[in-house]
Chains A and B, each alone.
Chain A
Amino acid sequence: MALAFDEYGRPFIILREQESKSRLRGLDAQKSNIAAGVAVSRILRTSLGPKGMDKMLQSPDGDITITNDGATILEQMDVDNQIGKLMVELSRSQDYEIGDGTTGVVVMAGALLEQAERLLERGIHPIRVAEGFEISSRIAVDHLEQISHKFDFSATNIEPLVQTCMTTLSSKIVNRCKRSLAEIAVKGVMAVADLERKDVNLDLIKVEGKVGGKLEDTELIYGIIVDKDMSHPQMPKQIEDAKIAILTCPFEPPKPKTKHKVDIDTVEKFQTLREQERKYFDDMVQRCKDVGATLVICQWGFDDEANHLLMHRNLPAVRWVGGVELELIAIATGGRIVPRFQELTPEKLGKAGLVREKAFGTTKDRMLYIEHCANSRAVTVFIRGGNKMMIEETKRSIHDALCVARNLIRNNSIVYGGGAAEISCSIAVEAAADKYPGVEQYAIRAFADALDSVPMALAENSGLQPIETLSAVKAQQIKEKNPCCGIDCNDAGTNDMREQNVFETLIGKQQQILLATQVVKMILKIDDVISPSEY
């Protein structure tokens, strides 16, 4: 920051630590910000599309993540640059709101920034550029609305949903069995969806993974899986028509919360105490038996004495079940969580058709399946895979697919993927540009060019000639007036995405365009960066 000098020629300090602060102003600030934003988006560019590549990220403590999901990559990259952080948040917002398209939104924002830089070099005021972008984003969003299709689905006809989920999954590592995963995702969402209110609570879908087996073994369970086993190895491994007592109190003698001391001065007293303790255990188990429970699931542990007693009384039990799982079990089985033995009543028991313990391969790991529940509105997707990284990536992919299915239930409009929607918007925006007087026209044209960069990246990643392919598809779209023409990434022989069944959700696309524009505006509006040079 420029130093000011007083009349004696001494420099004087206006801001704290002025000398160590660095400051960038005007066009320089904008350019450096744009460069940072573009750099981030370049990293993600190669991950776009079905032929996109994955990134391997190593965290400071050595954990390795391999992923194709934009939000995850950016999250793990630990970006330090301020503008870079904005891009990270951009992709996170898309993740929160839509769950899918996190790579596309960053690529879009990067393309817009590149275009903006060119305009700034020509001397166009950054805010005029941003305003032009805003106008065009509105045009594009309206256009998407027009070219979108509504499709019908019902609880029985889930095919369209599966197709759309497959488009999402095709860019992931799991595309080998995208069909079965897409079906799992859609069935899972349909199971928990409230079609009347068009609401889906994804919390009710549990995604659980276990190393081992093949990806094809991944399954959807109408019930809950808990990574726990029976507290005693000799307890039965399978219970049919289970009545489940869900407890949040330990199998222990109760303790008052207030500090207490029991003065024992005679042998008799000691024996009564001992007797009483034993009686507590007895009572507790008896109580469970009395109400008719055939399985006890407990949030806390219980000591060996209780364990033995439970075994003895032939009451299978599971201990140390986490709070969230406990809640899901309660919802699934229609039971109530009971905080105290005294409150246990037959009505509060949950009901499940089948509870079984399943061992995997040669390992001793066992998991507890609770199936055929009274209320099937809680489901579990159980993922198998060769290694941990694979399972983690599958979890993320399933999450994306679940989000897509949820979005379609909320709003059943789709647009065509494979860059078709972007190309169509680009044509519409380009055509609209001529109607705007003033400098904004340039920005609107630039926006159209930026839209082209998504299909361009798709073509590039698929090993096609980007410029040739794009211009051919664009020409085809205009000639045939067909907004479904996109990049043929899988070499299927047709450019018509309708035939290829490549769909994306309308709201996802709209959100991408709006969010990218918003963040680009924010970046363009900054003309002054003040930062401490080192700390």
Chain B
Amino acid sequence: MASMMQPQIILLKEGTDTSQGKPQLISNINACMAVADVVRTTLGPRGMDKLIHDDKGNTTISNDGATIMKLLDVVHPAAKILVDIAKSQDSEVGDGTTTVVLLAGEFLKEAKPFIEDGVHPQNLIRSYRIASFMVDFLNSYPCSILHMNIYDLGAIEKIKELAVSIEGKSSDEKRSLLAKCAATTLSSKLIGGEKEFFASMVVDAVFAIGNDDRLNMIGIKKVPGGTMRDSFLVNGVAFKKTFSYAGFEQQPKKFLNPKILLLNIELELKSEKENAEIRLSDPLQYQSIVDAEWNIIYDKLDKCVQSGAKIVLSRLAIGDLATQYFADRDIFCAGRVAEDDLHRVAAATGGTVQTSVNNVIDEILGSCEVFEEKQVGGERFNIFSGCPSGQTATIVLRGGADQFIEEAERSLHDAIMIVRRAMKNSTVVAGGGAIDMELSRYLWQHARNIAGKSQLFINSYAKALEVIPRQLCDNAGFDATDVLNKLRQKHALAAGWSFAIYFKNKNKKSFSSEGALYGVDINTGGISDSFANFVWEPAVVKINAINAATEAACLILSVDETVKNPKSESAQGEAAGGMGRGRGGGMRGGRGRGMRRR
């Protein structure tokens, strides 16, 4: 018997799932395409939202690519890469997360027929890299047609008007230009109906924090109730009234130019040391111990009062005794202030958080122009406004439902990131698929000069870029082929000479005649000049999206074997083999919860 059968050599642990070669590559591509399909419909101003309901009963309604990808809980190893690039796009630029997934999916889709025909993946990878590099080059080259420096545009206006106060003017103009960028991002979101309102709010918030890198200096507070137009921006800090003890209502609720003391200690009558024990042999000493304890807390409170502060905030509890003590002395206090709120107050008012009340000097006290407790919907808010250092802003969001506000918060986060990016990296490109069409055209043209099969690959890369305008049309219910052909024609017209015109006659008319700036017009179903219609995106979003998508596509193309280790992924392996579903399912569920928390 033994001689008839070759003994099987077991190299890997039993149950290890290996698949390799071309089929594996194709199946990876299929998986990625399936994932990209999920987010496909969220792109653009006519994009739809997803309602994702997880097994813990949390519901999220979102339009944000990164959020959806995260919640989908993808386990396929290749498809996970797409999740990662969406996340990285989110943390890097904050917006364009749907775009990046869509592009990566499309690059792979274009590569699939070549792989099936037996092209070596490395060939494809090389060509894709070249294409991406070219796109990149085009993007980062300062005189490219597709770019316009925000400041440049300002300069044109300036030359026209021969303005005197250049500094003040440019800040105002910058503001309106940045608002345009923010509005473009917001137009695809749920709050798109009020995009101008929110765009200017976001720009104001970003200007308020200035060049500070700490994004957490912009606080977003959510209060259910009201309509979104009731949202407002506080040029300072606002937070919800904290838990209060009896006596709180007797404190004054409004101050002008108060001094603010920020603490990180408990102001409560309590034992000073844990596990300490007092032994008394003489009952007469009893009172002195009681008094000593009271004196400690009174001493602390007294020091707070003596510092001249009118508002005392603490991260830890401020007890009822302290509340009443402060109420007697017309001082406002709030205990258990959330840590990030306290830091924001510290940054805004110029105070420093203290861990002791000893030696409180004037320098560590913060101050602001107005402090007030105000009713916002069903909540009372503590609002500090007119802060000296002005490095903070708080947006108070209102809306009809919790999920609505959650989504609004995510959208505003995107917009904030975009504005910050645009401020630092001041180039913008035309949105609405215009830039993608133009890049695609450029690559088509370039591919003609290449001998060899690389030409095909670059062509397919160019074709993949067209997915953005195509999807925009599809989502809006337009005939994508029709619109795309119109766009191609426009962009072909513009070839070569448009950029010369722009730089020669620096006036606005010349851009609108440029084909390079034409994108999908979402309102009419035709095409229009995106730049003139103020559909703007910061260039960095596109650069990052294209780079990340290309990287991901190349990475997936370069994999030809997957080995799934049965120990950590046994449930997965079994389910893939179509057995052991019951028990495995439970285990997977258990781990799933752990995963998400990460």
Contact = CB atoms under 8 A, between A and B. Distances in A.
B302 interface: no
A515 B225 CA distance: 8
A254 B293 CA distance: 11
A90 B401 contact: yes
Interface in B26-50: 26-27, 30-31, 34-35, 38, 41, 45-46, 48-50
A323 B74 contact: no
B105 interface: no
B279 A261 contact: yes
Contacts of B581: 19
B224 interface: yes
B246 A248 contact: yes
B588 interface: yes
Interface string B406-442: 0100000000000000000000000000000000000
Interface in A430-447: 438
Given A203-B249, A525-B190, A529-B51, A260 B23 contact: no
A7 B20 CA distance: 10
A258 B276 contact: yes
Contacts of A359: none
Nearest to B228: A518
A15 B74 contact: yes
A525 B49 contact: yes
B276 A528 contact: no
Nearest to A324: B246
A326 interface: yes
Interface in A4-58: 4-8, 10-17, 19-20, 29, 33
Contacts of A498: none
A336 B293 contact: no
A331 B588 contact: no
A323 B225 contact: no
Interface string A83-106: 001100110111111000000000
A33 B59 CA distance: 14
Given A257-B269, A257-B270, A14 B277 contact: no
A40 to B, nearest CB: 13
B282 interface: yes
A259 B276 contact: yes
A126 B48 contact: yes
B325 interface: yes
Interface stretch (A268-276, A412-420, A473-481): A268-276
A330 interface: yes
A276 B269 CA distance: 23
Candidate in B73, B269, B276, B292 with the most chain A CB atoms within 10 angstroms: B73
B504 interface: no
A127 interface: yes
Given A131-B193, A262-B280, A521-B190, A330 B30 contact: no
A417 to B, nearest CB: 21
B190 A522 contact: yes
Given A8-B19, A12-B76, A511 B226 contact: yes
Nearest to A325: B246
Given A260-B277, A339-B325, A526-B61, A327 B284 contact: no
Interface residues of B, number: 98
Contact of A518 (B248, B277, B400, B523): B400
B1 interface: no
B31 A12 contact: yes
A261 B278 contact: yes
A456 B592 CA distance: 50
Nearest to B62: A526
A286 interface: no
Given A260-B279, A263-B280, A93 B226 contact: yes
A519 B61 contact: no
Contacts of B289: 256, 258, 260
A82 to B, nearest CB: 5
Interface in A478-535: 511, 514-515, 518-519, 521-522, 525-532, 535
Given A126-B48, A331-B249, A519-B401, A199 B375 contact: yes
B228 A529 contact: no
A338 interface: yes
B324 A6 contact: no
B50 A15 contact: no
Nearest to A204: B249
A6 B276 contact: no
Interface string B223-266: 01111110000000000000001111110000000000000000
A16 B324 contact: no
A273 B49 contact: no
B544 to A, nearest CB: 25
B572 interface: yes
B280 A260 contact: yes
B277 A269 contact: no
Contacts of A92: 224-225
Contacts of A86: 401, 403-404
A260 B41 CA distance: 69
A403 B432 CA distance: 47
Interface in B320-358: 320-321, 324-325, 327-328
Contact of B578 (A10, A201, A254): A10
B214 interface: no
A7 B575 CA distance: 17
Given A337-B250, A337-B327, A125 B46 contact: yes
Interface string A309-341: 000000000000001101100110000111110
Nearest to A531: B53
A497 to B, nearest CB: 26
Given A17-B588, A263-B280, A330-B250, A6 B400 contact: no
Interface in A263-307: 263-265, 269, 272-273, 276, 299
B3 interface: no
Contacts of A155: none
Contacts of A532: 53-55
Contacts of B57: 535
A15 to B, nearest CB: 6
Contacts of A14: 31, 34-35, 74-76, 79
Contacts of B166: none
A41 to B, nearest CB: 14
A323 B245 contact: yes
Nearest to A268: B283
A72 B317 CA distance: 34
A521 B24 CA distance: 43
A530 B76 contact: no
A261 B581 CA distance: 63
A348 B247 CA distance: 13
Interface string B72-85: 11111001000000
Interface string B292-322: 1110000000000000000000000000110
B588 A16 contact: yes
Contacts of A5: 27, 30
Nearest to A322: B246
Nearest to A519: B400
27 contacts: A6-B23, A10-B578, A13-B576, A16-B73, A16-B595, A96-B377, A125-B476, A256-B293, A260-B289, A262-B279, A265-B281, A269-B281, A299-B246, A324-B246, A327-B246, A337-B247, A340-B321, A522-B400, A526-B48, A527-B48, A527-B49, A528-B48, A529-B53, A530-B51, A530-B52, A530-B53, A531-B51
Given A93-B399, A97-B377, A337-B320, 7 more contacts: A6-B19, A15-B72, A95-B225, A96-B226, A96-B377, A511-B226, A529-B52
9 closest Cβ pairs, A-B complex:
A7-B23, A6-B27, A96-B378, A527-B48, A96-B225, A531-B53, A89-B401, A97-B225, A273-B283
Interface of A: 2, 4-8, 10-17, 19-20, 29, 33, 82, 85-86, 89-90, 92-97, 125-128, 131, 134, 199, 201, 203, 248, 254-265, 269, 272-273, 276, 299, 323-324, 326-327, 330-331, 336-340, 348, 438, 511, 514-515, 518-519, 521-522, 525-532, 535
